[in-house]
Structure 1
Amino acid sequence: MDLQSFFAGHPTSRAVFDKALAIARRDGPVEVRVGKSQVSLRQRRGFAYIWLPGAYLRKPATETVLAIALDRQIASTRFKQIAHPAGRVWMHHLEVDGPDNVDDEVAGWIREAQQAAR
């Protein structure tokens, strides 16, 4: 699958992805992997993931979820969910209504996750 196919019919989600990618690219090259269920931004490992809950949930609260993999837990009411799937990985899930939600605070989290993924 390619980016165009993944985001077909979801221009807002594509705009969120484009903004997250632009933030990450400020610090150098970023690998983009398009999977069946999500698009990931990677260095040595993945650090940010975009997925479309409408593909899996009957009535999703938002069109787009941005998940950021950090090596610490961040206490913020902005996160819908925080998971701890591995010893040094905390997945922070943000419901994102549009690219304006990817603000300076979120950009800082993306850059921190990117640094940790190197």
Structure 2
Amino acid sequence: MSEPVEGEQFFAHDEKARAIYRAFARPLVRLDGVSVRVSKSQVALRARRGFAYAWAPKQYLASGVPVVVSIALPHRLESERFKEIAHPTTATWMHHVELRLVKDVDRELIGWAKQAWQHAR
């Protein structure tokens, strides 16, 4: 098992979800100014504001998806990987990605999260 990453205690109930979160968060928590906030419903990765959120659908739904990552950007991205794209405020587009396996955390996903980090700084 690899070293723990801040926030992974949120996924303590599910080893698979914890491993997926760890793969997603590890490269992001090392970025300048990133902090992690754990709440009852999610783990938020923040710079000046939140830019990426990880949560467990099983908390709310009958779901076989271990982790959903939501990435906040000031513009809409297009990809078949997004389960849903929401526009909750005029300045924010939320891109929701279902992660079923550690290998779903790839360069593309981390790249989107790093774009969001840039905008959140």
Aligned partner of 1:110 in structure 2 is: 113
Shift in Å, 1:4: 5.6
Q: For 1:32-86, what per-residue CA distance to the aligned partner results, in whole angstroms no more than 9, with x for missing partners? A: 00000000100000001011001101x2141110111111101111000000001
- Does the 8 Å contact 1:23/1:110 carry over to 2? no
Q: Kindly indicate whether structure 1 or structure 2 has the higher relative contact order, using CA contacts under 8 Å at least 6 residues apart.
A: 1
Distance change (3 Å), C-alpha of 1:4 and 1:88:
closer
Shift in Å, 1:12: 1.8
User: Could you tell me how far apart the structure 1 residues matched to 2:28 and 2:8 are?
Assistant: 20
User: Could you tell me how far apart the structure 2 residues matched to 1:100 and 1:55 are?
Assistant: 23
**Percent of aligned pairs with the same amino acid:** 45
Structure 2 unaligned segments of length 5 or more: list them. 1-5
Please give the secondary structure, in 1, of the residue aligned with 2:12.
coil
Aligned partner of 1:21 in structure 2 is: 25
User: Could you tell me how far apart the structure 1 residues matched to 2:74 and 2:105 are?
Assistant: 20
Aligned alpha-carbon RMSD (Å)? 1.6
2:54 matches 1:66: no
Q: What is the aligned residue count?
A: 116
Aligned partner of 2:13 in structure 1 is: 9
Shift in Å, 1:5: 4.5
Structure 1 unaligned segments of length 5 or more: list them. none
- Does the 8 Å contact 1:96/1:102 carry over to 2? yes
| Residue type of the alignment partner of 2:104 | N
Q: What TM-score do the two structures reach when normalised by structure 1?
A: 0.89
User: Could you tell me how far apart the structure 2 residues matched to 1:22 and 1:4 are?
Assistant: 10
Aligned partner of 2:51 in structure 1 is: 47
Shift in Å, 1:99: 2.0
